[in-house]
Structure 1
Amino acid sequence: MLTRASASRYRTLFISDIHLGTRGCQAEMLLDFLHHFEAERIYLIGDIFDGWRLRRGWHWPQAHNDVIEAILHKAHAGVQIIYIPGNHDEVARNYIGTHFGGIEVRLTDEHMAADKRRFLITHGDQFDIVVKNADWLAHLGDRAYKFVLGLNTTVNRIRRLWGGQYWSLSNWAKQQVKQAVNFIGEYESVLAEEARRSGYDGIICGHIHKAEMRDMDGVLYINTGDWVESCTAVVEDQCGQLHMIDWTSLTPRRQQEDKTRPTSSQVPPESVAARLAPAVANQDH
């Protein structure tokens, strides 16, 4: 595991949809990611914990505690952390404008990149008609989603027996269902239009668990993905360039490097994260 001094440093880190409190949460992978990447500012863009699921049954293993502790440690070390609640952790919206443990809670935010581009930061559920106008239907869909994630866990346990890397059954299914594809396209268009209407250069959101970074008629639409299906995040470098990081694709490469790395007395000064930098750059959309 990398030390704080050897981690790759970025200006800003954007993470959403961790869903702590659910069995589908990939907390261990997120912890690994957080140990490899440091930033001056971190945005937690909603659904960090899953209040919907926790109300139906308590599930909170040690790894989920470890994620919270890792985030609080960064806040205590001086990292600015801005928490924008989503629909699954909407109870935190009762605390908009407050601080706890060095974390500031905001409904939305404006992020100014190093290259002076302005981005609207929002979880995105405000633009989801199903969540906004049919809460009961959203909860019904959440139960079906939980079932698919249960299958996903079983599939990946079997894959690990043969040394296979993490694969998301739920994410694959989402790409095959025409209605889901249409909904995702509409969601992206609506959020891009909101950014355009408000005079922003782009929008950074979460909510639909579909990592994406693309230009939509002059507006940069960015969805950070999640830590249930895709295990993705977005980082801003010191020049203001934004990069999508797919940790599931980088992790096997890092683990292979760990196996071939010299013993501690022979470890070269450059970090694993630094050697992964070219691969991270290739994640640009």
Structure 2
Amino acid sequence: MSQSHVDNKANFNPFSEAITANGRSLPPENIKQQFNALWLSDIHLGSVDCKAEFLLNLLTQTKAAQIYLVGDVIDIWALKRKVYWPKTHNLVLQKLLQLAKDGTQIKYIPGNHDEAFKSYTDFHLWGITMANEYIHECITGEKILMLHGDQFDSEVCVSRAYAKLGDHLYDVLLFLNRKLHQIRHACGFPYWSLASYVKLRVNKAQHAIEMYRDAVLRYAKTQQVQAVVCGHIHQPELSLHEDIIYANDGDWVENCTLIAETFSGQLQLLRWSDEASTTKVIKQFQLNVQPSSEFKQKVA
């Protein structure tokens, strides 16, 4: 297998590559952080924009009793266009499979880019349980609904033509983001997301984010839960809306973020810091305790 691609696209299977690869190539563990649960989504393994090396660093220094993969873990759309499967992508998948084998409870909720796995929901594959949705019970008793969020696209997109145009513009933005990262890395600067910076300053993008959040919250209110974790739109957020916590764990293409539940009952929005080689807390609040107004604000 080449470092950058695999020639036999028709028969390429990411899980087969990870299972048959030599496990000794995995980096050694150096546990620095421990959590009760982690939520990760929109990793996009198989995409040239995936920040697999950052995620691998996170997984090798973090231990969690439960890990929830909330969709778009493997970018089948990108792999159908061109098989891109470098060593770091394979190592991430190997690490997740090894964690499942060693006893970490891993639930995988497929999204739109890995929707082929939706036909395997309610099955146990490679030590990982597949589901369309799942409810996690926190240490403090709160129930958290998790779903990818692609089912709400029809409530967010103004039209199919507008959505298609948005996808093309986003691809251009990711290309520029990738090139800027290469330049900054060569100059010794840490990772910084141009894509996230631009998106937060486009009014139409902000409106779409608000519509998406509202759609997710409307559904969560029908499920008798205290919180909802989703992904899909690559916009990390932790906020409170009429006694329901909205948590978007972001992505590993632009933001390198995740949601975590600590053993002391805190829900945290974390971002991987390339410079510090560890996670940094963006927002947090104690479960079962009314968050202060500071934590009700949307993540910038």
Cα distance between partner residues in 2 of 1:242 and 1:179: 29
Give matches, 1:113-262, under 5 Å: 113-129=138-154, 138=163, 141-248=166-273, 251-254=274-277
Matched residue of 1:252: which SS?
Answer: coil
Structure 1 letter corresponding to 2:50:
C
CA contact under 8 A between 1:125 and 1:132: conserved in structure 2? no
Counterpart of 2:123? 98
Structure possessing the higher relative contact order (Cα contacts under 8 Å, 6 or more residues apart): 1
Distance (whole Å) between structure 1 residues aligned to residue 160 and residue 79 of structure 2: 17
Post-superposition offset of 1:189: 1.5
Greater alpha carbon shift after TM alignment, 47-56 vs 78-87: 47-56
Give yes or no for contact 1:234–1:243 (8 Å, CA) kept in 2. yes
1:143 positional shift: 3.7
Distance 1:135 1:62 in 2: 36
Structure 1 gap ranges (5+) = 255-272
CA shift, 1:97, in A, is: 1.1
8 Å CA contact retained: 2:30, 2:60: no
- CA displacement 1:25-61 (0-9 Å, x = unmatched): 0000000111121101100000001111111111111
C-alpha change, 1:50 and 1:130, in structure 2 (3 Å) is: farther
RMSD: 2.2
Q: Is the contact between residue 67 and residue 105 of structure 2 (CA under 8 Å) also seen in structure 1?
A: yes
User: Matched residues, percent identical?
Assistant: 37
**What is the CA–CA distance in structure 2 between the aligned matches of 1:90 and 1:161, rounded to whole Å?**
36
CA distance in 2, matches of 1:2, 1:242: 28
Instruction: Report if the CA contact (8 A) 1:126-1:132 is conserved.
Output: no
Scaled by the length of structure 2, what TM-score is found?
A: 0.81
What aligned pairs does 1:74-113 form with structure 2 within 5 A after superposition? 74-113=99-138
State the alpha-carbon separation in 2 of the partners of residues 47 and 89 from structure 1: 5
2:237–2:246 Cα contact (<8 Å) kept: yes
Check if 1:46 corresponds to 2:76: no
Q: How far, CA to CA, are the matches of 2:202 and 2:249 in structure 1?
A: 21
TM-aligned CA deviation for residue 134 of structure 1: 6.6
Q: Which residues of 2 match residues 16-27 of structure 1 at below 5 A?
A: 16-27=41-52
Shift, 1:7, TM fit = 3.2
Structure 2: give runs of 5+ residues left out of the alignment.
Answer: 1-25, 285-294, 296-300
* Aligned partner letter, 2:275: P
**2:53 corresponds to:** 28
Report what 2:38 is aligned to: 13
Cα separation, partners in 2 of 1:164 and 1:234, compared to 1, 3 Å = same
Provide the secondary structure at the position in 1 that maps to 2:43. Answer: coil
Aligned residues: 260
* Shift, 1:13, TM fit: 0.8
Whole-Å separation in 2 of the counterparts to 1:109 and 1:195: 12
In 1: Cα distance, 2:87 partner to 2:30 partner: 25
Mapped to 1, the partners of 2:66 and 2:160 lie a distance apart of 33
Q: Greater helix share, 1 or 2?
A: 1
Cα distance in 2 for residues equivalent to 1:138 and 1:100: 34
